Every structure is written in structure tokens, then in C-alpha cells.
Amino acid sequence: MKIRWIALLLALLCVLPALGGCAADTVEIMRYGESSVSVNMYRYWLASYKGNFMYTFSDATNTDAFWDTVLYDDVTAEEYLNEIVVANVKRTLLCMELFRQKGMKLPASVEEEIDTYIDELIKERAGGSKNVFNEELAKLGINVFWHTVVGDNPQRLRKTLELARSRADIIITTGGLGPTCDDLTKNIIAEAMYALAN
């Protein structure tokens, strides 16, 4: 299970920076090679880890007193969580750069797993509402400024992707109703990102 989470986190981290970002003023917080992590991405991961921690340990309370609790060697619960997140983000940043350098692509099964995970997040954490999910993301400084619907037309998809890249730091796409043989979204994005990386 731990390997699945690491693989999923790695996959998400490889996809998000390659596709851009949703916050208007993205500030870089970490860089390795040509790959970077923005403050908003870091805040998202920190909040996600914190939420998973609170969900996993039902006896933990999301209070200042809890996060100020010393766990070991004068390290508080908050400092411990930050250490874990920083270490994982650094490892992921290294993997992102290696993916980029080697021109690697995620297998379709991993992309499907990411899509499923995002759907589960929306269902479990936002009651199935994308609007509620977006409101929660906005609290983290991740804002949806544009939403565009494009039919299965390669030229329009390419133009829409170029426009999105010009006005956003992160671009999140879906392939309509789900992964089907005639879905063009993944292939067009892969082509665009491959061209961008070379």
C-alpha cells in the first residue's frame, strides 16, 4: 500500500508541473534542474498530508495544542509533519527531473489510477461536488480561474492547451466521460508536453 501511495504521489508530481498551475502568482519554493515546486503546490501537499494524518489518527485533534505537542527531541508534531513533507517533496522533485530528462511517460494504468484517485478525493472529501472541492482548493491558494470545454478535435485541443499554458501555472484536464479508445486528450497533451520538453 505504501508503494502505491508513493507511486501515486510521484505520478501526480510528474503530471502537475508539466501541465502548468492554477494560482496567478506562483512562487517557486524548490528547484532541481528544470523541475520546480511552487509555494502553492507545497501548501497543497502539506494540507493533504495533514488531512490524511488527521483522517488516519482519529485521536488526533486539529488544534494548536496538538500541533505544538513535542513528539521527540524537542520536535513538535507540526515540525515532524513538515519534515516528512519536505523530504517527500524533495524526493519527488528529483523523480520529476529524472522523468523529464529521460523523456519518460506514465503508463496508461497509472494515469487511470490518478484519475480514479482524484474522483475519490472529490467524492470523499467534497461530497462528490467539484464546486466544494474547488472551494477547498481555493482555501489553499489553488484557484480555478478558467474552465474550458473542448470537443474531440485535435486542433482545438492543441490551441486550447496553448492558451491555457499562457494564462495558468497548472492545467488540469479530463477526457470527457472517461478513458475510451477514441479519447484524444491524453495523446494531445503528451505530444504538447513532449514538444515543450525538447
Helix axes 108-125, 2-19, angle to 10 degrees: 100
Per-residue pLDDT of 172-184, as tens digits, reads: 776 554 555 666 7
Q: What is the pLDDT of residue 92?
A: 83
Enumerate residue ranges in the chain where pLDDT < 50: 1-3, 5-25, 177
Q: What is the pLDDT of residue 196?
A: 62
Q: What is the pLDDT of residue 174?
A: 65
**What pTM was estimated for this model as a whole?**
0.46
Q: What is the pLDDT of residue 24?
A: 39
Q: What is the pLDDT of residue 98?
A: 86
